[in-house]
Amino acid sequence: MRTLALSLCLLLGGVARAADRDFFNAEVRPILAQHCFKCHGPDEKTRKAKLRLDLREEALKPGRSGSPALVPGKPEQSELIKRILSSDETEVMPPPSTKSPLSSAQKEILKRWVRDGAEYHPHWAFVAPKQAPLPAVKNSKWPRKAIDSFILARLEAEGLQPSAQADRYTLIRRLSFDLIGLPPTPEEVDAFINDKAPDAYEKVVDRLLASPRYGERWARRWLDLARYADTNGYEKDRPRSIWPYRDWVINALNADMPFDQFTIEQIAGDLLPNATQQQRIATGFHRNTMTNEEGGIDPLEFRFYSMTDRVGTTGTVWLGMTLVCAQCHSHKYDPIAQKEYYQLMAFLNNADEPEMEVVQPELARKRHELEQKIDDLLQHIPTRYPVKAAQAKETLGAQAHRQAFETAMAKWYTEKAKNLAQWTPLTPIEAKANVPLLTVLPDRSIFASGDQTKSDTYTLTFNNDLQGITALRVEALPDPRLPKGGPGRVYYEGPPGDFTLCDFRLEVGGKKVKLAKASHSFASGGFTADKAIDDNLQTGWSINGGQGRAHNIVFNLAEPLRAGGTFTIKMLFARHYSAGLGRFRVSVTTQQKEAVAVDLPSEIETLLHLPPGERSPEQKRLLERHFILNAPEMAALRKEIETLRRQMPAYPTTLVMQERPPENPRQTFVHRRGEFLQPTERVEPGVPAFLPPLPDGAPRNRLTLARWLVAKDNPLVGRVTMNRQWAAFFGRGIVRTTQDFGFQGEAPSHPELLDWLAVELVRQGWSMKKMHKLIVMSATYQQVSRVTPEVLKKDPENKLLGRGPRVRLEAEMIRDAALSVSGLLSPKMGGPSVFPPQPPGVTTEGAYGRLDWKVSQGEDRYRRGLYTFMKRTAPYAMFATFDGPSGEVCLARREITNTPLQALTMLNDVALVEAAQALGRLTAKQATPVEKRVDELFRRVLTRPPSAEERTLLVQFYQKQKARLERKELDASALAGPGEGDVNERAAWTALARVLFNLDEAIIKG
């Protein structure tokens, strides 16, 4: 009970202090926000009795009952006070049905507030931060940095003292984990311990900030916010390639890219003038939303969910606002109207979402080399064409081969030409579709872009000028803008780049014209040309397996078409996924002979119509190449080319945002109750009124939004950003609710400090490294983390920072540390994600989208945790056990739990066992006495040397296990794993290393 009384004092003390600062914001607003604003707040739809309590002038107006809710200075005349004190169930506020009655303390606070004048002050977080003068402190020797003055002033006000500076072992361990996510090596520790220079600590800080490991450590935190993962999520949860974005983050952080630029490139890198490939990669930030590939989903519905995720994530990351609350209705507590939510969405909503090839110079060179070799071969193949032995002897070498080649080629083309028809490409006078945008290109082909549905219909109208059309042809054309180069638009669920033409009809004057037959140049499986005219809408023509190439389908009319007026063709693409055609061209023929689809690209076809004598050398070369690459009789000779083509390295791809063309903007609507199927009013891009406006005349696009987010007058971004940094070092933010700075968020423990940091961030040119240095150079950061019973009573959560941070390591750090101290950790940076060992079945058992977890070999087995393949529906088991994210939602703060499953992981998981074995091998190799080796092992894992008592216990354990091993009571080779030297030795050290990994201290930065 004594504890309780003391803590209550502390709490009430908090109230008194807050009153001095801002009684309204600290005490009154939270009560109003939680109990009143739901019905008397910003949301006009749910507002009761037309009473609004979030604005003073509204609350002072006479209400329905005649008397105003608030009469400043006169609680007894204020309707609000009367109502909260009422004992009448029909009168009392909040109504009993809300099940959230006010406590008597809360009623007192409201009364006092009204008595004192019912003053409103703007919410602290919505007012631009200023750097207040440093507060005066008694212990003027303690502060090293501005930070310390704020911390100390508060401690002194509470009658507390800061803790002493931690020892150097603790400091270097804390610094290393915080700045690079890895423990220091014994050599680094010794260097620091022995460095007598006054700036020894600062030198360590600078070394760590300059390490490439810094970017890896801090990227992981950012990737939590970015909801980065390597799969699409939902049912199928198939792999995706977006790791170039992850690498971009690492590189940007290592280069200390200013946070404003870091923001702008991720939100709108593609819109920057002359955007670089890197800037486009950065837009992957908002491509980390999930994609549902479940058969039968409505793709536009799930795109809408991605959009709500993007708005919500933007709000969390840059504004610290819970924008998501305004999706279904105006925000109940914060001043964000539902319309404003959709106006923010409108900024982000006007982008296409392509996959982009990442051209890497090294790969480009390799590709160029191979292409040259292929070119070379293509030139030489004609001179290698086999000729009959007798003939070869008579004529002159190469010439004879070439002649034979040309003869064969001429024969092949003559055969092909037999089936050629004279096709006339047509330009439609109108090209329309239900949702996609059809654009006619100069080569008369039509390009489909924009959104797609599961049932797209393209309607094309042509002038019917040619007399007696007998057949129509649709060429399906590849295009680099399409998935896998097209010709189709399938991008999820089905084979990328495919399409399915389910129905093709020709109409004149609204009447269907009979089609007799259809043929294709290529088809996949049963999806043949005839299926496009069989009147069964579930079947159709598709080309899976032929992506990246041109194909065509020919429809023969039952009767030749009489000229005059117009004709219309309608193409239906309808499967259980979007399956439209991306680029195509329509041609007609009037020839009497029945036309059939021929597997020739139209460029070659055109050349064949030219008399051989009229073909230019370039045209001849094209024909030659096509012959070599396609004719069956050339198969043997082109084998080498095919081998080279297989060696052609593909560029990695990544997911990016790309602003839509001005002719096809996407419209954004308010959605009633936030439901996809209920769009109502159309909105234009805009920002919430409670925040600074957009600059005059700025275009309403993503780039403007991005710049606005990091504009100097945005009161939130600096605070929210620095609060997250603070939380990374101290285990909790100055505002504990890192994701909510609105009225419902917790008040900052040190508001002046937070404001100071927010302003300083901008003053330091948005440099994160400088801000991180500022924090770690503070005396606050360097305190010991020891907890005394007295301190625990007064400040159990270390809110006041009277001691150093003592926080469990993040999931990836725990594994990285074990790999690092055992010498296994690979320093390799970047590249595709890897598959380190984990228990069997994690990604297969019970998983719909099963992923065979093929364990990486070589150094990829031991890469840093952030390179581990992240499967959303079945995350890497060890990380999940230690509170790692699934990548399904933006995560501003990881929970820190302490569970038996974590103990089992540390004791028995294959990754930890391998690290223990490696450490066992290292230790067994040394020729020093056992005690010395115990010390060395201990220092590797825990940084500090062991106490005598600890050493004794560890040596005893080692000797006991060693004796048991020597007596063959244990399977030494199984325990020690692979390696050389005395197996019992290795096994015994492995056992000891395993114990050390399992100490609380091993997974703590203290």
Partner 1 sequence: MTTAHTAPLNLARRHFLRDCGIGLGKVALATLLTDAFRSPSSAAEKGPALLAPKQPHFPGKAKRVIHLFMAGAPSQLDLFDYKPKLVEYEGKPIPPSIIGGQRYAFIRADAAVLGPRFKFAKHGKSGAELSEVMPHLAKVVDELCIIRSMHTDQFNHAPAQIFFNTGFAQPGRPSLGSWTIYGLGAETRDLPAFVVMSTGSGISGGSANWSSGFLPTIYNGVRLRNQGDPILNVSRPKGVDAQMQKDSFDLIGALNQKRLESEGDPEIATRIASYEMAHRLQTSAPELMDLKKEPKKVLDLYGADPDKPSFARACLLARRLLQRGVRFINIYHEGWDAHSDVAGNLRQNCGVTDRACAALLLDLKQHGMLDDTLVIWGGEFGRTPMVETNPALGRSLGRDHHPQAFTMWMAGGGVKAGMTYGATDDLGFHVAEKAVHVHDLQATILHLLGFDHEKLTYRFAGRDFRLTDIHGKVVKDLLA
> Minimum distance between the CB of residue 46 and partner 1, rounded to whole angstroms?
11
Q: Cα separation of 91 and 94, whole Å?
A: 9
3-state DSSP call for residue 245? helix
Site for partner 1 in 807-846 (CB under 8 A): 808, 839-842, 845-846
The rounded distance, in Å, linking the Cα atoms of 1000 and 903 is 10
| Angle, CA of 235, 239 and 243, to the nearest 5° | 135
Q: How many of the chain's residues bind partner 1 (CB under 8 A)?
A: 120
Compute the least distance from the CB of residue 974 to partner 1, in Å.
3
Pick from 41, 183, 233, 546: which binds partner 1 (CB under 8 A)?
233
Instruction: Identify residue 250 by its one-letter amino acid code.
Output: I
- Is residue 742 close enough to count as binding partner 1 by CB under 8 A? yes
> Which among 182-190, 289-297, 762-770, 857-865 is the span making contact with partner 1, rule CB under 8 A?
289-297
Q: Interface with partner 1 includes 435 (CB under 8 A)?
A: no
Among 86, 399, 414, 899, binds partner 1 (CB under 8 A): 899
Beta bridge partners of 448: 438
Residue 902 as a binder of partner 1 (CB under 8 A): the answer is yes
- Least Å distance between CB 193 and partner 1? 20
Considering only residues 934 to 973 of the shown chain, the ones binding partner 1 according to CB under 8 A are 947, 949-950, 953-954, 957, 960-961, 964, 969-973
Q: How far is the CB of 308 from partner 1 (least distance, A)?
A: 8
Nearest Cα neighbor of 911 from 841, 864, 954 is 864
Measured from the CB atom, the residue of 651 and 957 that comes closer to partner 1 is: 957
Query: With respect to partner 1, which residue has the nearer C-beta, 919 or 991?
Result: 991
Nearer to partner 1, 7 or 251 (CB): 7
Contact by Cβ (8 Å): 467, 511: no
Secondary structure letter of residue 431 according to DSSP: E
Helices (H), 237-290: 243-254, 259-268, 277-282
Query: Restricting to residues 89-118, which ones interact with partner 1 according to CB under 8 A?
Result: 99
For partner 1, the binding residue among 230, 549, 987, 1005 (CB under 8 A) is: 987
β-strand partners of 555:
472, 518
Binders of partner 1 in range 854-893 (CB under 8 A): 872-875, 877, 880-881, 883, 886, 888-889
Binding-site string for partner 1 from residue 559 to residue 598, where x marks contact by CB under 8 A and - marks none: -----------------x----------------------
Residue 695 binds partner 1 (CB under 8 A): no
Angle formed at CA 946 by CA 943 and CA 948, multiple of 5 degrees:
165
User: By rule CB under 8 A, what string of x and - marks binding of each residue 785-804 to partner 1?
Assistant: xxxxx--xx--xx-------
- 305 or 669: whose CB is closer to partner 1? 305
* Interface pattern 315-354 for partner 1 (x via CB under 8 A): -x-----x-xx------xxx--------------------
- Output the smallest distance, CB 172 to partner 1, in A: 18
Out of 199, 603, 859, 1001, the residue judged to bind partner 1 by CB under 8 A: 1001
User: How far is 497 from 545, CA to CA, in rounded Å?
Assistant: 9
Three-state SS at 384: helix
Comparison of 265 and 909: residue with beta carbon closer to partner 1: 909
Min. distance of Cβ 787 from partner 1 in angstroms?
4
Cβ atoms of 348 and 341 within 8 Å: the answer is no
* Euclidean distance between CA atoms 678 and 426, whole angstroms: 40
Report the distance separating Cα 138 and Cα 136, nearest Å: 7
233 or 269: whose CB is closer to partner 1? 233
Contact stretch for partner 1 (CB under 8 A) within 49-57, 181-189, 381-389, 897-905 = 897-905
Confirm or reject binding of residue 449 to partner 1 (CB under 8 A).
no
Q: Toward partner 1, which CB reaches closer, 259 or 879?
A: 879
Please say whether the beta carbons of 332 and 744 come within 8 A.
no
The residue within the footprint of partner 1, chosen from 148, 237, 247, 265 (CB under 8 A), is 237
Interaction between residue 298 and partner 1 (CB under 8 A) = yes
Please report whether residue 238 would count as binding partner 1 according to CB under 8 A.
no
Check binding of 737 to partner 1 (CB under 8 A). yes
Handedness of CA 971, 976, 978, 979 (dihedral sign): negative
If one asks whether residue 158 binds partner 1 (CB under 8 A), the answer comes out as no
Contacts with 118 (C-beta within 8 Å, 6 or more apart), sequence order: 56, 59, 60, 70, 71, 72, 73, 78
Helices (H), 860-982: 877-881, 900-908, 910-925, 930-942, 948-966, 972-976
Pick the piece of the chain touching partner 1 (CB under 8 A) from 233-241, 366-374, 506-514, 656-664.
233-241
Query: Whole-angstrom Cα distance, residue 423 to residue 690?
Result: 63
Question: What is the nearest approach in angstroms of partner 1 to the Cβ of residue 969?
Answer: 7
Alpha-helical runs (H) found in 276-356? 277-282, 299-314, 338-348
- Binding of partner 1 at residue 994 (CB under 8 A)? yes
**874 in helix, strand or coil?**
coil
Distance CA 624, CA 379 (A): 9
The least CB distance from residue 891 to partner 1, in Å, is: 9
Tell me how far, at minimum, the Cβ of 114 lies from partner 1, in Å.
25
901 binds partner 1, rule: CB under 8 A: yes
DSSP class of residue 613 equals G
For position 998 contacting partner 1 by CB under 8 A, the verdict is yes
Residue 567 φ then ψ, to 5°: -130, 160
Q: Is 50 left (phi over 0), alpha (psi -120 to 50) or beta?
A: left
CB of 658 to partner 1, least distance (A): 25
Residue 342 amino acid letter: Y
At closest approach, how far in Å is the CB of 132 from partner 1? 27
**CA 488, CA 497: separation in Å to the nearest integer?**
4
Residue type, 967: R
Task: Please count the other Cβ atoms lying within 10 Å of the Cβ belonging to residue 141.
Answer: 8
- Does residue number 975 form part of the binding site for partner 1 (CB under 8 A)? yes
CB of 539 to partner 1, least distance (A): 5
Query: Does the protein bind partner 1 through residue 806 (CB under 8 A)?
Result: yes
Rounded to a whole number of angstroms, the minimum distance from the CB of residue 522 to partner 1 is 18
Comparing CA positions, the residue from 816, 845, 993, 973 lying closest to residue 919 is 993
Q: Does 739 bind partner 1 (CB under 8 A)?
A: yes
- The yes or no reply on residue 11 touching partner 1 (CB under 8 A) is yes
CA–CA distance, 549 with 199 (Å, rounded to integer): 65
Give yes or no for residue 897 binding partner 1 (CB under 8 A).
yes
**Within 10 Å of residue 591's Cβ, how many Cβ atoms?**
14
Nearest-angstrom CA–CA distance, 52 and 39: 8
Q: Which residue, 73 or 122, is less far from partner 1 as judged by CB?
A: 122
Q: How far is the CB of 718 from partner 1 (least distance, A)?
A: 20
Q: Is 355 in the site for partner 1 (CB under 8 A)?
A: no
Element (H, E) at 112: helix 104-115
Among 905, 923, 943, 984, binds partner 1 (CB under 8 A): 905
Instruction: State yes or no: residue 495 binds partner 1 (CB under 8 A).
Output: no
Which pair of structure tokens corresponds to residue 106? 């809360």
* Cα–chain center distance at 874: 17
CB-based contacts of 117-123 (< 8 A; 24+ apart in sequence): 117/72, 117/73, 118/56, 118/59, 118/60, 118/70, 118/71, 118/72, 118/73, 118/78, 119/24, 119/56, 119/72, 120/24, 120/55, 120/56, 121/22, 121/24, 121/25, 123/25, 123/29, 123/742, 123/743
Q: Is 359 or 903 the residue whose CB approaches partner 1 more closely?
A: 903
Tell me which of 96, 122, 295, 565 binds partner 1, using CB under 8 A: 295
- Site residues for partner 1, window 669-688 (CB under 8 A)? 677
Confirm or reject binding of residue 189 to partner 1 (CB under 8 A): no
* Residues of span 502-541 touching partner 1 by CB under 8 A: 526-527, 531, 536-540
